[in-house]
Structure 1
Amino acid sequence: MNRVDVQSSCSDDDEADTLSVDAALLKMLNAVAEKSGSEHIPLTSAVDRILAAPFLSPINVPSHRNAAVDGYAIIHTDLPSSGEIKTLNIVGRIVAGHPYKGRLKQGECLQIMTGAQMPDAADTVIMQEHVEIHDNTIHIDARHKNGQNVRQAGEDIQQNHTVLEAGIKLTPPQIGLIASLGISEVHVKTPLTIAVFSTGDELLSLGEPPREGCIYDSNRYSMISALKKIGCKVLDMGIIADDPEQLRSAFKLASNSADVIFTSGGVSVGAADYTKQILAETGSINFWKVAIKPGRPIAFGHIDNTTFFGLPGNPVAVMVTFYQFALPCLQKMMGLTTPLICPTIQAKSTHSIRKIAGRTEFQRGFLSKNNDGEWEVSTTGKQGSGILRSMSDANAFIILEHERPSINKGDWVITQPFSALF
């Protein structure tokens, strides 16, 4: 025998029994559901929060008929016939916030400013540039129409009509819209509570002195910042040693305290990877090998009513799997009905990229426009899953599709800008 009988591993170019990226994501999405819970908060704190119920307008917008331009308010029966010029007496002036107290009569007009409330009887506004003024009168011709330049009450929003649907993330324009209706509080969904911890005896917390054979924990900080960015409450549980009892206690505490648990590392087949063993005892967990690079080993499932994501241990693999798998699931659990739009851009590769067909690869790249105005992308150095610098220097993923082979310089590739994710 001249070969060792080995098992398949995540370092193989082509490993059996792997799920495609799309299949893995679909399984995850089908296994999670929206979490209940809502609260009323001040409008000033509501940006990026998710609306819990349809928002009905308590008033008409505009609340009254008003002038759409600066001009002169008249009664439409004073409009001249074809070929005729009419003279109307100016009997007053109206500005926004100060309604006219009298009643306009036939043969009269009122100077009116944009946004000012239309007086009783008046139903048409002549733009100030379309009149001739002589002493205290205006002259108008037959070019005008009944009802022109007037905004009707409720023309924009009608009272008791739905203004915003449940499940949208409130952005600054929507905050302004709610404020325009005189509302100071909004009903929003309660944020997800996420428990996060890293596993491994080799990990050091920030502030600890360096030790031989150890590295500083970066995954926890990446995950916590990503979770806070999308509005989650984070329970930071620190670093859990490679010890079955400590892991068992950590999972119990996390499942009692959080909607979702995130861990990194410990989902492979190493002798000290106890995460898999403990999860099998405490929950319903699937351990998947996904046809993705980086990030092939992923654990996903539930501990009681708490969803669990066990991401790989390498820093870049953590970020790739978080944004490609975890983020869409979290958006569904948050009740977000308008998920983030993550557009892709076709760009020319500035150099060749080695690629094995049969898996989806997420290279880290820098996307820019060349002198011809075309999008182009270059990789950010070495692409190993433990090289976080390649992620830090990048501004986009280069997505190399499942069946695509190696890329030649000048080939068009799909890129996903970080600006839509981060």
Structure 2
Amino acid sequence: MSEAPKKPSLTPLDDALVALLAQALPLADCETMPAMAARGRVLATDLISPVDVPPADNSAMDGYAVRAADAAAALPVTQRVPAGSLPQPLAVGEAARIFTGAQLPPGADAVVMQEHTELLDGRVRATQPVTPGQHVRLRGEDLKAGNVVLPAGTRLDAVALGLAATAGAAELTVTRRPRVALFSTGDELVMPGEPLPPGAIYNSNRFTLRALLEGLGCEVIDLGIVPDRLEATRAALREAAARADVILTSGGVSVGEEDHLRPAVQAEGHLDLWAIAIKPGKPFAHGRVGAAHFIGLPGNPVSSLVTFLVLVRPFLLKLQGATYLAPRGYRIAAGFDWPRPDKRREFLRVSLDDANGLALFGNQSSGVLTSAFWADGLLDNPPGHAFKAGDTVRFIPFSELLS
């Protein structure tokens, strides 16, 4: 009698992530596009400032530009300097009416805010001591011409785009968007809006994963739902590999008789990573089909979400040349006991509770997507680690993972 096949050993998450990222060679292609449309893209080359910002010393307040040494006297106001105008030199013993952002007149070295002045017969006097440099924004204090404003690998968010605009960049050179072919497997899956036969479920993963991919700047090739048949799965993989850099699937990567993705990938290409020691999300796979990466996610919605966030997200960011891949975690007190930890690394859905620390969603099943909607983030718990309420744990907010 032949022995039953041994279960494969589970790869620790950190080892799986190292192996996965080693395969994620940044895409070589890049494109130049309007900065206004570049949100979420990854900068392909350093952005160098051609100008000093601000381009000249200017006023940080509405008030009066003066020489600090003269400010205790009553000074005649000899000019008015609104923002955008070119001031005249300021003579000794003079003051200039000035507004926020206006260029400082040559000769002035301080600004007295208007609330700290007295006006009488066209003359102004400071009512408080004035020091050189007071309320002056110096030329180049934000950006200096020739310096790097944003380094290559920067993922362009609202602040980065504002900084690029500050340097006068109308266009930016970014890495090409990864093309990701997405499909789900399962005869039980139907789309929202269709009748729901007995035993069927709506395909939530298609919506979740597509939104996550688009949020990461990917071009999504949506191949829909593939039937649970080996030949249909192989055909879908061939089509996806011909069109995409990455093939991303959900479902069908376990070891059941109706799970055809693993043998289909092995027939069309190869697998180099399968089964990760995490909960939820053990049946995770990576390999190649032709030149395309294959990534197979579990079918359960929370497992699919968690494995995408901790493994696929950094993979796709590295493909785009992003510098920062790992989300920041924070040490926060747990508001509950966890006496029976799993042998695998766990990602618990938790919310922030100002009174007691992190609160736990009552049902941690991998099929309960409500837990992720309710949560503020994930508690990253090491394998076999029990803790009590009040112990500090690692919390990763969804704000770090869903953007």
Which digits, 9 at most, give the CA deviation of each residue in 1:47-91, with x for residues without a partner? Answer: 222222211223221122323344443457x649xxxx6554332
Judging changes above 3 Å, is the alpha-carbon distance between structure 1 residues 98 and 302 closer, same or farther for their aligned structure 2 residues? Answer: same
Aligned to 1:388: 369
Structure 1 pair 289–182 and aligned structure 2 pair: CA distance change class (3 A): closer
Which of 355, 361, 384 is the matching residue for 1:379?
Answer: 361
1:419 to 394, 399, 403: 399
Q: Which amino acid aligns with 1:380?
A: G
Provide closer, same or farther for how the CA distance between residues 330 and 63 of structure 1 changes in structure 2, counting only shifts above 3 A: same
Mean CA deviation greater in 394-403 or 23-32:
394-403
Normalised TM-score (structure 2)? 0.87
Specify the code of the residue in structure 2 equivalent to 1:42: P
Pick aligned residue for 2:347 from 362, 382, 390? 362
Deviations 1:344-370, CA, capped at 9 Å, x for gaps: 3423343555323x3212233343222
Deviation of 1:239 after TM superposition, in Å, equals: 1.0
Q: Distance in 2 between matches of 1:242 and 1:134?
A: 88
Distance in 1, Cα, partners of 2:161 & 2:128: 43
Are 2:350 and 2:358, in contact at CA under 8 Å, matched by a contact in 1? no
- For residues 418 and 155 of structure 1, the distance between their equivalents in structure 2, rounded to whole angstroms, comes to 34
Residue 134 to residue 273, structure 1, CA distance change in 2 (3 Å): closer
Task: Give the letter for the 1:384 counterpart.
Answer: S
Residue type of the partner of 2:34?
A: P
Residue by residue over 1:326-354, the C-alpha shift from the partner in whole angstroms, topping out at 9 and shown as x without a partner, is: 11211211211133633234233435553
Letter in 2 for 1:240: V
Change over 3 Å in CA distance of 1:300–1:79 after alignment to 2: same
- Write out aligned runs for 1:293-308 (5 A): 293-308=279-294
In 1: Cα distance, 2:82 partner to 2:372 partner: 57
Equivalent-residue separation in structure 1 for 2:159 and 2:66 (angstroms) = 35
Matched, 1:73 2:65: yes
1:195 matched residue in structure 2 = 181
Which of 74, 77, 80 matches 1:90? 77
Q: Which letter does structure 2 place at the counterpart of 1:378?
A: L
For the pair 1:218 / 2:204, whether they are aligned, the reply is: yes
2:18 matched residue in structure 1: 26
- Return the alpha-carbon distance in structure 2 between the equivalents of residues 365 and 292 of structure 1: 17
User: Is the alpha carbon distance of 1:397 and 1:90 closer, same or farther for their aligned partners in structure 2, counting shifts above 3 Å?
Assistant: closer
Partner SS state of residue 297, structure 1: coil
Question: Bigger shift: 230-239 or 86-95?
Answer: 86-95
Partner Cα separation in structure 2 for residue 36 and residue 336 of structure 1: 13
Deviations 1:158-213 (A, max 9, x none): 22322111211222223223333443332222221111111122322333322333
CA shift, 1:131, in A, is 5.5
Percent identity over the alignment is: 37
2:33 equivalent among 30, 33, 41: 41
SS in 1 for 2:347: strand
Task: Output the CA distance in 1 between the equivalents of 2:375 and 2:401.
Answer: 13
1:310 counterpart (281, 296, 300) = 296
Residue type of the partner of 2:384? E
Q: 1:20 to 1:113 in 2, by over 3 A?
A: same
Deviations 1:87-130 (A, max 9, x none): 54332222222323x54434433232332223344445455566
Evaluate the alpha carbon distance shift between residue 402 and residue 375 of structure 1 in structure 2; reply closer, same or farther with a 3 A threshold: same
Gaps of 5+ in 1: 10-15
Matched, 1:398 2:379: yes
CA separation of 1:330 and 1:275: change in aligned 2, threshold 3 A = same
Q: Aligned partners of 1:142, 1:327: CA distance in 2, in Å? A: 56
Separation of aligned partners in 1, 2:16 and 2:193: 38
- One-letter code of the match for 2:183? F
Question: In 2, are the aligned partners of 1:79 and 1:142 still within 8 Å (CA)?
Answer: no
Aligned equivalents of 2:195, 2:127: Cα separation in 1: 87
After superposition, the Cα gap between the structure-2 partners of 1:146 and 1:365, relative to the gap in structure 1 and judged at 3 Å, is closer
How many residues are matched? 402
Do the aligned residues in 2 keep the contact of 1:74 with 1:109 (CA within 8 Å)?
yes
1:270 aligns with 2:256: yes
Kept after mapping to 1: 8 A contact 2:341/2:384: no
Q: Work out whether residues 380 and 394 of structure 1, in 8 Å CA contact, stay in contact via their aligned partners in 2.
A: no
Q: How far apart in 1 are the matches of 2:392 and 2:139?
A: 53
Task: Specify the alignment match of 1:55 in structure 2.
Answer: 47
Shift of 1:262: 0.7
* Corresponding residue for residue 167 of structure 1: 153
- In 2, Cα distance between equivalents of 1:192 and 1:126: 54
* CA 126–315 in structure 1, closer or farther in 2 if over 3 Å, else same: closer
Contact 2:346 2:383 in 1 (8 A): yes
Q: Which runs of 5+ in 2 are unaligned?
A: none
Q: 3-state SS of the aligned residue for 1:309?
A: strand
Task: Please state whether the residue corresponding to 1:118 is helix, strand or coil.
Answer: coil
